[in-house]
Amino acid sequence: MTHSEPHYDVQQLKAIPFSEVAARFDGLERAGSRWKTLCPWHNDSRPSLTLYDVNGQNHCHCFACGKGGSVIDYVMQHERITFAEACQWLSHAFGIGEAKTENTRHVVKTTPKPMASATKEYTYIPMDFLKPKVSVSNSFSQCLRYLFDEAQVMTLTESYLLGKYRWNQYDDDVIFASIDGQGRIHNLKLQHYCTDWRSPHFAHCDKEHIYFLGRWLAKQGVVTADAVFDNDCFFGAHLLPQRPYATVALVESPKNAVIAAGAYPELVWVATGSKDMLKKARAIESLRDRDVMVFPDRDAIDEWKNILKERKDLANFTVSDFCESHAPADNAKFDIADYVISQRLSFGCHDL
C-alpha cells in the first residue's frame, strides 16, 4: 500500500456555507437578508464583502473593490496561502476528508492534518492590548452579577480575562480571548449579551453581532498587516497549566465555560468555541493525559461522542448526559449555562 498526496473534494469544500467560513475569521454583520464581513482583498475598515450563501449560491463579492470568489478564494486571500493549503485548512476545519480517486485501494485515507507551522509564522495578539480592557462592566460580566456574588464575578472576569470593548452600536461588548497554555492570544471574539434578567433573552447574545478582532487589529497596526492567526485554541486553555491535576470540564461556548466555572469551581472549564472545533487536532492536544468531563449541548451529544471515540488515546474522556437529562422537552439546544441560570434565578439570586 503506498502513500499519496491528499486529493480534496473541491466541490464539497466550495459548498461549505460561506457565512460559517467567514465567522471563523472576522465575524459577520447583517445586511438585509444577507451577511457581510471584512473584505480581505483591500484595507476594509467596515464590512463590505457581501456573502451569497442561500438559494443554491455560495460566493462572495465586494462592492468596494470588485473582488470576490469562492470560499477557497476567500481563505487563500485571507490567510495569504496557496490553493492546496486553503483546501487543507477547510478540510480540517470542517471535517471533510479526501476525495475518492480511481485508485482508492492504493490511497491511505487519513484525517487531514493541520498545516505545519513551518509553512507560516502565526501572529498572536499582544497581552498588553487585552489586559487594560479586562472589566466587570462588559455586558456578559453584568449578567454574571445576577448569578453570583461580586467576589465571584470579579474572579471569573479576571481568570478568563473578560474584556470590555466598543463596537458599532454597543459600548459594552464582552471580549472572549482564546489564550493558550503559553499565554499567547490567538484571537479575540466580541459578543453582546442581554443584561435584563426579566427578559427571556437574558444572558443570550445578539446573534447578528459577533466579531473577531484579529484582522481588525491588523488593519489598525496593533499587529502586522500580513498577520496570520492560528485559531486552533480552546477558550480557557491558559488555565490548564495553572491546575495540572484538576479534572477538566469541556463545553462548547465560552459563555457555558464561565457560568459553569462559577457554579462548579472544582473543575477547570474550557470551551471549544464551536461544535467543529472539537475536531481541531492542535486545540484538543491541550487536554492530553487529563481527566476530562465533556458536557455537550443537547443537540451535539451523539456527534461529540463519535468524535471522542477516535481520540480515546489522548485523554480520559467521559461524556456526560447532563444537558439531556435536565433539558425541557421543547429545548433542543439546552446547555449547562441554561441549567445554572434557571436554577440561580429561581432561587432569587438576582436580588444579590
Is residue 109 pLDDT above 50, yes or no? no
Q: By percentage, how much of the chain surpasses pLDDT 90?
A: 54
Residues 260/340, Cβ–Cβ less than 8 Å:
yes
User: What pLDDT, on the 0 to 100 scale, is given for residue 135?
Assistant: 98
Rounded to whole angstroms, what are the CA distances from 271 to 82, 209, 254?
30, 20, 5
Residues 192, 166 contacting (CB under 8 angstroms): no
Amino acid making up residue 152? Q
- How far is Cα 304 from Cα 36, in angstroms, rounded to an integer? 30
Neighbours of 97 (CB within 10 A): 15
Helices 150-159 and 254-263, interaxial angle, to 10°?
A: 140
User: How confident is the model at residue 4, as a pLDDT?
Assistant: 46
From 222, 280, 226, select the one nearest 79 (Cα to Cα). Answer: 226
How far apart are the C-alpha atoms of 154 and 162, rounded to whole Å?
Answer: 10
In this predicted structure, what is the pLDDT of residue 183?
A: 96
CA distance 118 to 224: 18
C-alpha 135/C-alpha 145 separation (Å) is 13
The yes-or-no verdict on residue 116 having pLDDT over 80 is: no
At 35-51, the pLDDT tens digits run 888 899 988 877 889 99
Around 178, how many Cα atoms within 13 Å sit in the side-chain half-sphere?
A: 25
Could you tell me the CA-to-CA distances from 307 to 242, 248, 298 in Å, in that order?
A: 27, 18, 16
**3-state SS, residue 61:** strand
Q: What's the pLDDT tens digit per position in 217-226? A: 988 899 988 7
**Domains by residue range for the chain, with CATH:** 10-96 (3.90.580.10), 127-351 (no CATH)
C-alpha 72/C-alpha 89 separation (Å) is: 9
> What are residue 28's DSSP bridge partners?
210
Q: What is the DSSP letter of 69?
A: E
Cell numbers for 79? 490567510
Higher pLDDT, 14 or 96: 14
The residues near 234 (Cβ < 8 Å, ≥ 6 apart) are: 178, 250, 270, 271, 272, 273, 277, 283, 284, 286, 287
Whether pLDDT at 105 is above 50: no
Which of 17-26, 97-106, 267-276 has the weakest average pLDDT?
97-106
| pLDDT over 90 at 30, yes or no | no
* Mean pLDDT score, 134-163: 98
Q: 158: Cβ–Cβ under 8 A, 6 or more apart, which residues?
A: 134
**101 — pLDDT class (breaks 50, 70, 90):** very low
Inform me whether the pLDDT recorded for 110 exceeds 80. no
| % of residues, the chain, pLDDT over 70 | 89
Q: Which residue matches cell numbers 481541531?
A: 280
Better pLDDT: 35 or 149? 149
Most confident range (mean pLDDT) of 15-24, 33-42, 259-268, 312-321 is 259-268
What is the SS3 string spanning 80-137? CCCHHHHHHHHHHHCCCCECCCCCHHHCCCCCCCCCCHHHCCCECECHHHHHHHECCC
Residue 304, burial from CB neighbour count under 10 angstroms (0-12, 13-18, 19+): buried
What whole-number distance in Å separates Cα of residue 128 and Cα of residue 136? 18
- In the predicted structure, residue 113 carries a pLDDT above the cut 60: no
Task: Give the pLDDT confidence of 243-264 residue by residue, as tens digits.
Answer: 999 999 999 999 999 999 999 9
Residues 6+ apart with CB under 8 A from 48: 36, 38, 39, 62, 63, 64, 65
Q: What's the whole-model pTM score?
A: 0.71
User: What is the rounded distance in angstroms from the CA atom of residue 48 to the CA atom of residue 46?
Assistant: 6
Tens-place pLDDT, residues 323-336: 888 888 888 788 99
pLDDT at 320: 93
